[in-house]
Amino acid sequence: MPISKSVLAIAAHPDDIEFVMSGTMLQLASRGWELHYFNIADGCCGSTSMNRATCRAVRLKEAQASANLMQAVFYPPICHDLEIFYNEVALAQVCQIVRNAKPSVILTHALADYMEDHQNAARLAVTGAFARSAPNFPDQSRFAQWYANPIEHEVAIYHAQPHGNRDPMGEPVEPTHFVNVTPHIGRKRELLACHASQAQWLDASQRMGSYLSAMEQLNREVGLMSQQFEYCEGWRRHYPMGFSSPDFDPLKSELSADRSIVIRNA
């Protein structure tokens, strides 16, 4: 079966895609891939000055602006911040989006990250992909509104670097796939700047200072790990059982020709 040149980013909150995934998406877009952009939560808690409803509305517009700028198909969020739970309702909705996007590549968070929303988003992405070909999921008697026709083709799931390039216990995490985003770092900055409301929030909640510079610094750290590129996004490929053949590695096959990726210890 020919590869579906579609990539689906599944993240927890508005701006997560821009921090750790958008450079890889831009690399694939330059090779003719279709982009799909999905934040599971609506960002309603990402402010110390706006109320929930205002914050939710502002962040929806920011996410839509970023998706439009990268020419990606946009999927609206399905829950509130800190309410990303691994349950059948969320799985049905995530699986529907996977089936509609028909991706060969899914980009999502690390399974061990600094907050539960990121971890649960990754778990939902994995199971949503696993169930892509199961005609009896979800239960149509209860979730008919979220049922989409199953898809059969192979999919590779890649987990991004955890926030800060460390696991929840503070241990450094090194990826296996280093994608060169140096040519796209200016565009990444432009996409992240769409989320202007986060300048105040990230400084207040995480002492991040300039969130644009923080993104560049995190990508620079991964670049140093690569020992080859200035700026990188790092990935670890999910074990392929249930998803693809063992050698199905679209990031490697797509980005190796012009040496835009380094693979180490995969």
- What's the number of domains the chain is made of? 1
Nearest to 15 by CA among 223, 167, 212: 212
The pLDDT score that the predictor gives to residue 52 is 97
Q: Is residue 50 predicted with pLDDT exceeding 60?
A: yes
Phi, psi of 201, rounded to the nearest 5 degrees: -65, -50
Establish if 252 belongs to a structural domain.
yes
For 47, residues 6+ apart whose C-beta sits below 8 A from its C-beta are: 54, 55, 58, 197, 200, 201
Q: Are 18 and 67 in contact (CB under 8 A)?
A: no
pLDDT band with cut points at 50, 70 and 90 for residue 266:
confident
Establish if 1 belongs to a structural domain.
no
pLDDT band with cut points at 50, 70 and 90 for residue 244:
very high
> What's the whole-number mean pLDDT along residues 115-142?
98
CATH number, domain at 199? 3.40.50.10320
Establish if 49 belongs to a structural domain.
yes
Establish if 157 belongs to a structural domain.
yes
Report which secondary-structure segment, H or E, holds 142.
helix 140-143
The pLDDT score that the predictor gives to residue 211 is 82
> What's the whole-number mean pLDDT along residues 134-163?
97
pLDDT in tens, 226-243: 999 999 999 999 999 999
Q: Are 30 and 169 in contact (CB under 8 A)?
A: no
Strand order from edge to edge, sheet including 6-11 = 73-75, 34-39, 6-11, 105-108, 156-160, 232-237, 177-180, 261-263
pLDDT band with cut points at 50, 70 and 90 for residue 209:
very low
The pLDDT score that the predictor gives to residue 201 is 61
> What's the whole-number mean pLDDT along residues 36-65?
96
> What's the whole-number mean pLDDT along residues 233-259?
97
For residue 151, how many other CB atoms are within 10 A of its CB? Answer: 16
> What's the whole-number mean pLDDT along residues 70-88?
98
Segments forming the whole domain that contains residue 53: 6-263
For 204, residues 6+ apart whose C-beta sits below 8 A from its C-beta are: 48
Q: Are 60 and 43 in contact (CB under 8 A)?
A: yes
Q: Pairing between strand 6-11 and 34-39?
A: parallel
Q: Within its chain, how far is the Cα of 211 from the centroid?
A: 18
The pLDDT score that the predictor gives to residue 200 is 66
Q: Is residue 208 predicted with pLDDT exceeding 60?
A: no
Running DSSP on this structure, what letter comes out for residue 79?
A: B
Cα separation, 193 vs 110, whole angstroms: 23
- % helix, strand, coil for the chain, step of 5: 45, 15, 40
Q: Is residue 175 predicted with pLDDT exceeding 50?
A: yes
The pLDDT score that the predictor gives to residue 99 is 98
Q: What is the identity of the amino acid at 65?
A: A
